[in-house]
Amino acid sequence: MAAVGRLKAVAAAIILMGMAAGGWLGWTYWQNQPSETTGPSLPVDMAMRSVHLQGGEQGRQEWDLRAANATYDRDQGMVDLEQPVLTLPMQDGRAVVRASRGRYNQDNGQATMWPDVQAEYQNGTVRAQKAVFVRQEDRLDLEEDVVFDWPGLHVTGKSAQILLEAETVVVDGGVQAELHSRVQAPDEDGES
């Protein structure tokens, strides 16, 4: 009988040690998991969803920048953007610029967007691989494979500058323009 009592004591000790080890392993695993409220640790000061930045002077809005997600690095003064949308009010409407990624530099106020940039203004579009909004000069610089498509006009170039205040476009590098008639050409019978 004494052997049975000793066997029970050893079994109880083994069960207690197993529970303690399991508890310690569970606690260690739980402590190493990212919190749902803070998310995974990132090398940034802040991670944000649905970001909205605006700028203007003398009560007039000059630009509006939105992004689905963003991270902010205070030391660099940079906001990295996912799916940014830049809206620029113009005299005859507004230009809307979209891209997959972007970065807003808080120090100089420049917004850089890349790749697959697409801008829409009235009933035309502009495509490029990179766009830089230079706020101080009220200018949008487009780089790499720039294509302007407006009804009746197709222009390509390596880069372009859109001077927003003057609503003027300057295209550089291997510029090619194709003009398309807005009037239908007559057929063989002379009818349009």
Are 26 and 56 found together in one domain?
A: no
Query: In this structure, are 4 and 83 located in the same domain?
Result: no
Could you give the CA distance from residue 151 to residue 50 in angstroms, rounded to a whole number? Answer: 34
Q: What is the pLDDT of residue 57?
A: 77
Return the closest-CA partner of residue 161 out of 133, 125, 129.
133
pLDDT of amino acid 30: 56
Residues 22 and 53 in one domain: no
Residue 191 lies in a domain: no
- Residue 39 is given by DSSP the state B
Domain shared by 10 and 90, yes or no: no
Q: pLDDT tier at 119 (50, 70, 90 boundaries)?
A: very high
Residue 188 belongs to some domain of the structure: no
- The answer to whether 100 and 115 are in contact (CB under 8 A) is yes
Confidence at 48, pLDDT banded by 50, 70, 90: confident
Q: What is the per-residue pLDDT across 80-107, written as a single tens digit (0 to 9) for each?
A: 999 999 999 877 788 999 999 999 998 8
Phi, psi of 82 (to 5 degrees): -110, 130
Say yes or no: 1 and 64 in one domain: no
Same domain, 22 and 61: no
Mean pLDDT is lowest, of 15-24, 52-61, 97-106, for 15-24
The band of 19, judged by pLDDT with boundaries at 50, 70 and 90, is low
Same domain (yes/no): 109, 26: no
- CB atoms under 10 Å from CB of 171, counted, come to 19
Residues 89 and 165 in one domain: yes
Residue 61 pLDDT exceeds 80: no
Average pLDDT rounded to a whole number, residues 124-142: 93
User: Does the pLDDT value for residue 126 go beyond 90?
Assistant: yes
117 or 20, which is more confident: 117
Report the pLDDT averaged over residues 19-38.
56
- Same domain flag for 26 and 95: no
- Identify whether the C-beta of residue 165 lies closer than 8 Å to the C-beta of residue 181: no
**Residue type at 149 in one-letter notation:** D
Query: Where residue 154 sits, what CATH number does that domain have?
Result: 2.60.450.10
Specify the higher pLDDT residue, 20 or 167. 167
In this structure, what token pair is assigned to residue 33? Answer: 């998991």
| Judgement on whether residues 20 and 61 belong to the same structural domain of the protein | no
- One domain for residues 58 and 96: yes
**180 vs 52, more confident:** 52
Q: How many domains does the chain have?
A: 2
Mean pLDDT, the chain, integer: 80
38 belongs to a structural domain = no
Least confident of 42-46, 112-116, 170-174: 42-46
Domain that holds residue 61: 46-179
